[in-house]
Each structure stands twice: as structure tokens, then as C-alpha cells.
């Protein structure tokens, strides 16, 4: 039985992510159990990880660092053992090298990039960006192929997801920007580097598209 752990570090919409994942779990899923935890013993036996995030970049990282051993445990399992990892919203942003919300702060540095304030070309686009926007394929990634194989979704203007954010991921290497969206200008909707994924959108709030995405993630295995 494979275990998916939703990482509890004192921040994030844990319950809604848990409910969405629990809704799609089945005996046929690669991950057949989901747990909300910050217990390193549970994390070590997990096969997949989700890091939610709500609030500020600096605040979420402070909560992350306040859990002794948590970052080291995840680094061992994600960076060395290469278990599938998904960061959601600020959970994705924390993957970057640095963030500039409420001053400069260091991120985890797992995907090269910075978190900068979302800028629009038209003042009619209000910040924060709250609502539904389309997902556009920018660069392919093995997970995208797997997601497609697990659903009948087409990557066109009808593929929409739900966003709530004021900052966005600016990757230093564009190949890590997998999906983009547009809100008064293009911004990164998803990043991906090997086994590490991050979405600016909230799959747990994105109805059919989001549940399809999460279903693909909990069944995703990296090719050795």
C-alpha cells in the first residue's frame, strides 16, 4: 500500500486538499491512503508528497522551518530518492531560490527561479488574481504525457483552473515552465523538474480538471 502525505507545517488549505485526494482514492490507485502529517517517520514511508500553501512566501517558509527535521527529511526523499512531489500555490512558490514578498527571502531552491509580484498590462486586471483561467502548454514534461493518458482532457482554451495569487514564479530556465496562463500578461501556471511539480492553480478547487490532475499525480511513477 503506497502512502501519499500532505505536509502539515502550520499553513495551507490542508482539509480541502485532503478531501479532494480522498475523493479520488481507490483500491486501484497507486496511492491507496492519504495522510496529513509532519511526522518524519510517516514521511519516510510515503511514496508521494503534496505541499499546500496559503498566505505569504515568507510566512509559509517560516512555518516550514519551525518544524525540526522536516526540510531535511523531504530533501532526502524528494531530491535523493526522487519520490513524486507536488507543491500547490505558495507550496509551488517555495520551490524557488528566492521570493520578494514582504522583502527578500530564501526559498528551498529546488527549481531555479524567483517569486515576483504578478504584473498586468492593464489596470482593469485586479491584483490579487482570483478566478478561473485557461491552462496553456508551454513545455512538455513526462507528467503531462501521463496526465493526458489518464484523462480525456485536451490542452486547448477549454482547459481551465482556479487561481488565487498575487505573485508568480519566474524561472531562470524556461524549460521548467510547463504550463502558462494569461491575466493581463502571461504567467507561469505550472513548473516541473524531474519528479518535482508545482502548480500556481489550485487543483483541489478546479473541479473536473483539478481532480483529473490529482488522480494522475497519485498514480504517477517515475521511469527508472
Tens of pLDDT, residues 17-66: 999 999 988 778 888 899 999 999 999 999 999 999 888 888 888 888 88
Task: Give the confidence band of 210 by pLDDT, cuts at 50, 70, 90.
Answer: very high
Q: What cell was used for 49?
A: 508528497
How would you classify residue 77: left for phi > 0, otherwise alpha for psi between -120 and 50, otherwise beta? Answer: alpha
3-class state of residue 210 by DSSP:
helix
**pTM assigned to the model:** 0.95
Catalytic residues: 89, 202, 204
Q: Which domains does the chain have, with CATH numbers?
A: 2-218 (3.40.50.880)
- pLDDT tens per residue, range 139-166: 999 999 999 888 877 666 678 999 999 9
| Cβ-based burial of 33 (10 A; exposed 0-12, middle 13-18, buried ≥19) | middle
* β partners of residue 99: 105, 115
Nearest Cα to Cα of residue 177 among 188, 166, 163 = 188
Q: For residues 190 and 199, is the Cβ–Cβ distance under 8 A?
A: yes
Amino acid at each position: 500500500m503506497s502512502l501519499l502525505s500532505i505536509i502539515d507545517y502550520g499553513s495551507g488549505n490542508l482539509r480541502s486538499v485532503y478531501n479532494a485526494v480522498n475523493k479520488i482514492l481507490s483500491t486501484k490507485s497507486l496511492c491507496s491512503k492519504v495522510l496529513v502529517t509532519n511526522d518524519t517517520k510517516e514521511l519516510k514511508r510515503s511514496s508521494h508528497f503534496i505541499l499546500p500553501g496559503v498566505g505569504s512566501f515568507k510566512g509559509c517558509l517560516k512555518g516550514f522551518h519551525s518544524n525540526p527535521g522536516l526540510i531535511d527529511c523531504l530533501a532526502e526523499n524528494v531530491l535523493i530518492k526522487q519520490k513524486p512531489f507536488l507543491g500547490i500555490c505558495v507550496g509551488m512558490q517555495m520551490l524557488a531560490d528566492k521570493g520578494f514578498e514582504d522583502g527578500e527571502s530564501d526559498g528551498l531552491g529546488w527549481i531555479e527561479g524567483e517569486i515576483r509580484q504578478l504584473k498586468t498590462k492593464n489596470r482593469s486586471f485586479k491584483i490579487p488574481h482570483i478566478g478561473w483561467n485557461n491552462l496553456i502548454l508551454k513545455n512538455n514534461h513526462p507528467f503531462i504525457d501521463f496526465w493526458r493518458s489518464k484523462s480525456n482532457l485536451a490542452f486547448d482554451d477549454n482547459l481551465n483552473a482556479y487561481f488565487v495569487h498575487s505573485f508568480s514564479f519566474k524561472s531562470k530556465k524556461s524549460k521548467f515552465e510547463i504550463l502558462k496562463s494569461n491575466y493581463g500578461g502571461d504567467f507561469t501556471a505550472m513548473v516541473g523538474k524531474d519528479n518535482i511539480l508545482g502548480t500556481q492553480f489550485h487543483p483541489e478547487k478546479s473541479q473536473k480538471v483539478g481532480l483529473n490532475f490529482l488522480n494522475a499525480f497519485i498514480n504517477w511513477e517515475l521511469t527508472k
